[in-house]
Amino acid sequence: MRIVRFAKGDELAFGVVDGEDHVTEIDGHPFQPSFELSGTRLPLADVRPVAPILPTKILAIGRNYAEHAAELGNEVPDEPLVFIKPSTSVVGPGEPVVYPAASAEVHHEAELAVVIGRVCRQVPRERVPEVVFGYTCGNDVTARDLQRREPQWARPKGFDTFCPLGPWIETEVDASDLAITCTVDDELRQSSRTSLMINDVAALVSYITEAMTLLPGDVILTGTPAGVGPLLPGQRVSVTIEGIGTLTNPVVAAD
């Protein structure tokens, strides 16, 4: 099932995508044991999708693909390298990534994004499927020049608009071995498979919840494969994950 969140006039609503081109509105919130459809069915082209969820926090994983760690001259860490992106960095499909004046080197990072469905803490590996609501595409946009200078990554990875998510949450896909790509203006930059993650989704959720409670809608960005590179104002960046969809965002200069 594909859960989309969209703007309809002044309101935001959740819906279920049926086929590729229609959406049926959900009554209330999809993060419940069961939910009802309102019966309102709209062409997908007539609604404006927004970020499929507003997380209270985004946990992101550094250096979780060996070839990516190597391309930036880093070792693979012994344990997952976890950092936080602020909720205010989230934008949805089609919304611009704003290139900040403070950076001269902004990079794309295509990532599988895990969406948590239940309040959970200290989740053992084997119970992780119970707390995962679904998956979407993420882009861990990074000011690489600032990241090299600043030992904490909150600022380099935390600018407003630096966390595109979407286009929807796919709740039924097996995410263990999916093709993941990133294109910039149709040039293929990243192409890999989620099976190449060093720490898989179960390991990451288990490790993170050893430390902190995750809430429904919280997002885990699972790390980027090799091929990261620069974005420039005027370009369009797309993250595509097999079985999930494509997340496209334009890049614009700051005012």
Token look-up 């309101």 returns 11
What is the rounded CA–CA span in Å between residue 188 and residue 4? 26
Give Cα 111 to chain centroid, integer Å: 6
List, in sequence order, every residue forming a beta bridge with 187; answer none if it has no partner.
184
Contact between 95 and Mg ion by CB under 5 A: the answer reads: no
Is the CB of 25 or the CB of 140 nearer to Mg ion? 140
List, in sequence order, every residue forming a beta bridge with 136; answer none if it has no partner.
113
- Measured CA to CA in angstroms, residue 185 lies from 58, 166, 233 at distances of 27, 18, 11
What is the rounded CA–CA span in Å between residue 172 and residue 38? 22
Q: Which stretch binds Mg ion (CB under 5 A): 17-25, 97-105, 109-117, 193-201?
A: 109-117
Q: Residues 25, 95, 109, 218: which binds Mg ion (CB under 5 A)? A: 109
Q: Residues 103, 161, 224, 238: which binds Mg ion (CB under 5 A)? A: 224
Q: Residues 49, 55, 95, 140: which binds Mg ion (CB under 5 A)? A: 140
Q: Which stretch binds Mg ion (CB under 5 A): 103-111, 127-135, 205-213, 226-234?
A: 103-111
Contact between 180 and Mg ion by CB under 5 A: the answer reads: no
Among 248, 254, 252, which Cα is nearest to 110's?
248
- Cis bond upstream, residue 100 (ω within 30): no
Q: Which stretch binds Mg ion (CB under 5 A): 44-52, 76-84, 106-114, 176-184?
A: 106-114
Least CB distance from residue 49 to Mg ion, whole Å? 23
Footprint of Mg ion on residues 73-92 (CB under 5 A)? none
DSSP 8-state code for residue 134: E
Contact between 218 and Mg ion by CB under 5 A: the answer reads: no
What is the rounded CA–CA span in Å between residue 250 and residue 233? 8
Least CB distance from residue 15 to Mg ion, whole Å? 29
Least CB distance from residue 246 to Mg ion, whole Å? 19
Binding site for Mg ion (CB under 5 A): 109, 140, 224
